[in-house]
């Protein structure tokens, strides 16, 4: 008798929560009870309005949060089969710096200017990263540097510029080139298409999808739902620090569409769809309601929404499984 077991996910996040302790005693709950898996060869798009906690979630996985952040839960990153996974929120800085960042987990940062070294040219930063991660030297290093730039559509004749001499879009491409160097099994791309023209968006999306198709995993954080539709296998919709919908991309963007009323509203707000924004504002993360955080904006809300909904079958709403036809 033979038994087949599904391969363990590359990243397994369980009950991840991040709070910021503020001077004066305020407590900002930026990420709440987030759980998801991500496998090799898969792209998960994390979407949601500005301030809902997407970048903080990425920062928690990379160990890049400021000192006033308090993280709970686990995020197990498996380097290779048979090797004990690394619990990212619990990992020490030495492990993160030497083993994780760049090698197991690459990042395309949301603010590339802040991640590039200001006093060194793009060429020198790419060279150093390639040498450190692949051991390339000499003439091979020069060629590999130009190839790395080309992968992210960074023009070779701008390689000798310093970060302050780059436009936002060029800085974005330099940061993407640096993030792709390690061919890390997991890449987190935080708004990788911001500031890019339409053809460069297509090119970046194509390069990121290739990274996934070659058997690596991608967590792409984006406001650009059209880019998410093109690149993602699954979608996670975040609202006020929680994942409210986690589902396959095809039914989400196509038929039957999102199940959670917030996710349905996000899609309806797109210019190419109804172009009708969701009324109201998200709640402050320092004073979240005890129940469903979307209830004050939700046309379906009833008394039951005073209880927090669990994420069941990919949707955290007391009012599904009815289709999101609100
Ligand atoms: N260092 C910090 N101290 C206190 N609050 C913070 C800190 N960093 C982020 N926050 C808060 O955490 C919340 C989530 O921020 P985050 O950057 O994750 O949002 P986001 O979903 O990535 O938004 P955007 O789409 O605009 O990038 C916000 O309310 C933000 O103000
Ligand atoms: Ni962000």
What was the pLDDT predicted at 286?
Answer: 93
**Ramachandran area for residue 51 (φ above 0: left; ψ -120 to 50: alpha; else beta):** left
Give yes or no for residue 324 having a pLDDT over 50: no
Ligand that lies nearest to the alpha carbon of residue 52, given by its number in the listed order: 1
Ligand that lies nearest to the alpha carbon of residue 54, given by its number in the listed order: 1
Dump pLDDT digits (tens) for 144-193.
999 999 999 999 999 999 999 999 999 999 999 999 999 999 999 999 99
What was the pLDDT predicted at 21?
Answer: 96
Cβ partners under 8 Å of residue 44, min gap 6:
36, 38, 217, 218, 219, 220, 232, 233, 234, 235, 236
**Interface ipTM above 0.85:** yes
> Is residue 56 lining ligand 1, measured as CB closer than 6 Å?
yes
Q: Do residues 68 and 22 lie in contact, with contact meaning Cβ atoms separated by under 8 Å?
A: yes
Give the confidence band of 194 by pLDDT, cuts at 50, 70, 90.
confident
Ligand that lies nearest to the alpha carbon of residue 50, given by its number in the listed order: 1
Dump pLDDT digits (tens) for 98-120.
999 999 999 999 988 888 999 99
Q: Do residues 179 and 191 lie in contact, with contact meaning Cβ atoms separated by under 8 Å?
A: no
Give the confidence band of 326 by pLDDT, cuts at 50, 70, 90.
very low
Ligand that lies nearest to the alpha carbon of residue 29, given by its number in the listed order: 1
In ligand 1, the atom with minimum distance to the C-alpha of 56 is: 18
Give yes or no for residue 74 having a pLDDT over 70: yes
Closest residue to atom 11 of ligand 1, CA basis: 30
Give the confidence band of 70 by pLDDT, cuts at 50, 70, 90.
very high
In ligand 1, the atom with minimum distance to the C-alpha of 49 is: 25
Closest residue to atom 28 of ligand 1, CA basis: 51
Closest residue to atom 1 of ligand 1, CA basis: 66
> Is residue 54 lining ligand 1, measured as CB closer than 6 Å?
yes
Ligand that lies nearest to the alpha carbon of residue 56, given by its number in the listed order: 1
Secondary structure class of 27 (helix, strand, coil): strand
Question: Ligand 2 centroid to 25 CA: how many Å?
Answer: 24
Question: Ligand 1 centroid to 256 CA: how many Å?
Answer: 32
> Is residue 20 lining ligand 1, measured as CB closer than 6 Å?
yes
Give the confidence band of 17 by pLDDT, cuts at 50, 70, 90.
very high
Mutation probe of ligand 1 site: the residue of 16, 54, 107, 114 with most atoms within 8 A of C-beta: 54
Mean pLDDT of 221-243: 94
Phi, psi of 169 (to 5 degrees): -65, -40
Give yes or no for residue 2 having a pLDDT over 80: no
Closest residue to atom 6 of ligand 1, CA basis: 20
Give yes or no for residue 225 having a pLDDT over 60: yes
- Gap between the Cα atoms of 40 and 266, Å rounded: 28
Beta bridge partners of 188: 107, 219
Give yes or no for residue 259 having a pLDDT over 90: yes
In ligand 1, the atom with minimum distance to the C-alpha of 223 is: 25
What was the pLDDT predicted at 8?
Answer: 79
Dump pLDDT digits (tens) for 22-69.
999 899 999 999 999 999 999 999 999 999 999 999 999 999 999 999
What was the pLDDT predicted at 321?
Answer: 65
> Is residue 53 lining ligand 1, measured as CB closer than 6 Å?
yes
Dump pLDDT digits (tens) for 262-292.
999 999 999 889 889 999 999 999 999 999 9
Mutation probe of ligand 1 site: the residue of 24, 31, 56 with most atoms within 8 A of C-beta: 56
> Is residue 110 lining ligand 1, measured as CB closer than 6 Å?
yes
118-to-105, 125, 274 alpha-carbon distances in Å: 23, 10, 43
- Gap between the Cα atoms of 177 and 316, Å rounded: 37
**With pLDDT > 90 as the criterion, what percentage of the chain qualifies?**
85
What was the pLDDT predicted at 79?
Answer: 79
- Gap between the Cα atoms of 227 and 45, Å rounded: 9
Give yes or no for residue 325 having a pLDDT over 70: no
Question: By 3-state DSSP, what share of the chain in percent is helix, strand and coil, each rounded to 5?
Answer: 35, 20, 45
Say what the pTM is. 0.94
Instruction: Tell me 296's DSSP state.
Output: G
What was the pLDDT predicted at 223?
Answer: 85
Q: Do residues 57 and 75 lie in contact, with contact meaning Cβ atoms separated by under 8 Å?
A: no
**With pLDDT > 70 as the criterion, what percentage of the chain qualifies?**
96
Q: What's the chain's average pLDDT? A: 93
Task: Write out the two tokens for 185.
Answer: 């099994």
């Amino acid at each position: 008798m033979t038994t087949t077991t599904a391969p363990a996910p590359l990243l397994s996040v369980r009950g991840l929560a991040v709070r910021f302790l503020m001077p004066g005693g305020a407590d900002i709950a930026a990420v709440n009870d987030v759980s998801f898996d991500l496998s090799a060869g898969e792209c998960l798009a994390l979407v949601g309005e500005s301030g809902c906690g997407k970048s903080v979630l990425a920062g928690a996985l990379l160990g890049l949060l400021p000192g006033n952040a308090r993280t709970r839960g686990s995020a197990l990153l498996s380097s290779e089969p048979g090797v004990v996974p690394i619990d990212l929120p619990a990992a020490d800085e030495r492990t993160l710096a030497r083993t994780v960042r760049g090698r197991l987990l690459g990042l395309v940062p949301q603010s590339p200017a802040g991640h590039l070294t200001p006093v060194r040219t793009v060429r020198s930063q790419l060279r150093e990263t390639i040498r450190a991660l692949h051991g390339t030297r000499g003439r091979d290093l020069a060629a590999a540097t130009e190839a790395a730039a080309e992968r992210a559509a960074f023009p070779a004749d701008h390689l000798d510029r310093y970060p302050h001499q780059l436009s936002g879009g060029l800085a974005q491409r330099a940061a993407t080139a640096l993030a792709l160097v390690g061919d890390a099994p997991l890449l987190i791309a935080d708004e990788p298409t911001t500031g890019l023209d339409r053809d460069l968006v297509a090119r970046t999306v194509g390069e990121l999808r290739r990274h996934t198709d070659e058997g690596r995993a991608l967590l792409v954080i984006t406001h650009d739902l059209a880019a998410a539709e093109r690149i993602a296998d699954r979608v996670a919709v975040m609202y006020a620090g929680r994942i409210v919908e986690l589902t396959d991309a095809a039914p989400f963007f196509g038929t039957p569409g999102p199940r959670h009323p917030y996710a349905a509203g996000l899609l309806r707000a797109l210019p190419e769809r109804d172009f009708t924004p969701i009324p109201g504002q998200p709640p402050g993360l320092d004073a979240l309601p005890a129940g469903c955080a979307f209830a004050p904006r939700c046309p379906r809300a009833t008394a039951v929404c005073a209880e927090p909904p669990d994420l069941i079958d990919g949707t955290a709403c007391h009012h599904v499984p009815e289709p999101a036809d609100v």
